[in-house]
Each structure stands twice: as structure tokens, then as C-alpha cells.
Amino acid sequence: MGFNVAIDGPAGAGKSTIAKLVAAEEGLVYVDTGAMYRGLAVYFLGLGISAEETDRLAAACREVTMEIGYAGSVQQVYVNGENITGRLREESVGNMASRCAAVPAVRECLLDLQRRLAKTQNVIMDGRDIGTCVLPQADLKIFLTASVETRARRRYLELKEKGVACDLEEIAADIRERDERDSTRKTAPLKQAADAVLIDSSDLSIEEVVAVIASLCREKRKTPN
């Protein structure tokens, strides 16, 4: 088993930004599990399957292969041998990912890959159920959150910077809807693990959050579980 750090939390809490920086500082491999759900979403959308067609989703899962690679430190997702990383951030893909992530067969399809990656290397893995389901024995668990308003404002500024027209209220509504769906689904809902450290990043800078988590990593490496 490698040294494993789990970071869970709602959409837009800054998990991937923080996890990448902690990974670089602590020499860990960053594993983005949301990208895996997004990868499957690209595949399902390509097959014309909707999130409600659970039998078809399950059948498609039996046919798919997913692999994770790295271009430098940037995670790449391969679906049936094709690198589909460039499509992962599309809005329709994010929505489909959130919907199909509620389907047990879809979660089952990714579980083995996620556990295998954590077994063979030192990882910091972000998602919704890493501390509760995927890696319940993780050396360090973080639950990273921020208020809906803060998360919506961050997303708004990010999109504006890219020149994408957007509306703050619409973004906040979308975040609320995604939170509700991710945390109320029956299988592996978004939930803080009992032994996770809660960090609310609403009033903290990225550097401050990274410093807290990096310091917790160093402590845990000195005195493992």
C-alpha cells in the first residue's frame, strides 16, 4: 500500500487545485477521480445513452476500458484506448458525470482502477467518496468545503477570465443542484468520513490550505496509522 491521502468535498471547493499543489510539494501522484466519471460520461454520451437508462449504462460499463496516464504531471484519461482528456471539462459532460455517478454499476466500474492506483504508488486522490468508500484506510483524509457563494464566485471569475459569458446566480443554482444530487444519492454519497479533517476554505487562500494539508501529510508520514 502506498501513502494515501483522500480529499473529498463538494464541486468547486478547490480540491483539484489544492491536491495538485500538495502533490508537487509532497512528491505524491495526483489522481482526479472526477475525471474518471467525466471520462465515462463522454463515452456514454457518445453512445447516446441517457443517465436514466441504467441497464444500458451497466452493459456499456462491461465493454469499456479506462486507463490513466500522465503528460508531465497532468492526468490523462483514456477510454477504450482513446485520450479524451480535452473533452472532460465540457458542461454537458460534467452534468452527465454527476447523474451517472449515482448508478451503482458505474461506480463499481471505477472502484477497482482507483484502488489499484492507490495500492502501487503514493497518491493524493480527490473525489466525493474516497475517504468513505474507495480508500477507507487512507493515511490522511481531508474534507474540503466552502460556502455555495464562495464556490460560485470562484467559478464565475474562472469562466470570466476564460472569456465565457456567465451568470453568478445561475452558477450558484447549478452548484446547489449538484451538491444535492451528489450528497443524497443512495450509493456512496458525498459525506465527510468520521476521521476526516474538515477544512472550510471560504476565508482561506490557496497557499494557506496547501500549507495546512502539506503539514498534516508530513506529520502522518512521521507517525503512520
Least spacing, CB of residue 155 vs ligand DC, in Å? 11
For 3, 25, 173, 202, the CA distances from 43, given in Å and listed in that order, are 31, 34, 27, 35
Residues with Cβ < 8 Å from 128, sequence gap 6 or more? 8, 9, 33, 34, 101, 182, 188, 189, 190
Q: Is 75 in the site for ligand DC (CB under 6 A)?
A: no
Q: Is 151 in the site for ligand DC (CB under 6 A)?
A: no
Q: Which three cell numbers stand for residue 13?
A: 471547493
CA distance linking residue 11 with residue 174, whole number of Å = 10
Q: Is 9 in the site for ligand DC (CB under 6 A)?
A: no
Q: Which three cell numbers stand for residue 173?
A: 443554482
Q: Is 34 in the site for ligand DC (CB under 6 A)?
A: yes
Nearer Cβ to ligand DC, position 194 or 224? 194
CA distance linking residue 108 with residue 89, whole number of Å = 23
The count of residues interacting with ligand DC (CB under 6 A) is 15
**Which single residue is written with the C-alpha cell 501522484?**
29
- The answer to whether the CB of 154 falls within 8 A of the CB of 12 is yes
Nearer Cβ to ligand DC, position 91 or 224? 91
Q: Give, as ranges, the residues between 77 and 106 that touch ligand DC (CB under 6 A).
A: 94, 97-98, 101
Least spacing, CB of residue 152 vs ligand DC, in Å? 14
Q: Is 20 in the site for ligand DC (CB under 6 A)?
A: no
**Which single residue is written with the C-alpha cell 449515482?**
102
Nearer Cβ to ligand DC, position 61 or 130? 130
Name the site residues for ligand DC (rule: CB under 6 A). 11, 33-34, 37-38, 94, 97-98, 101, 127-130, 178, 182
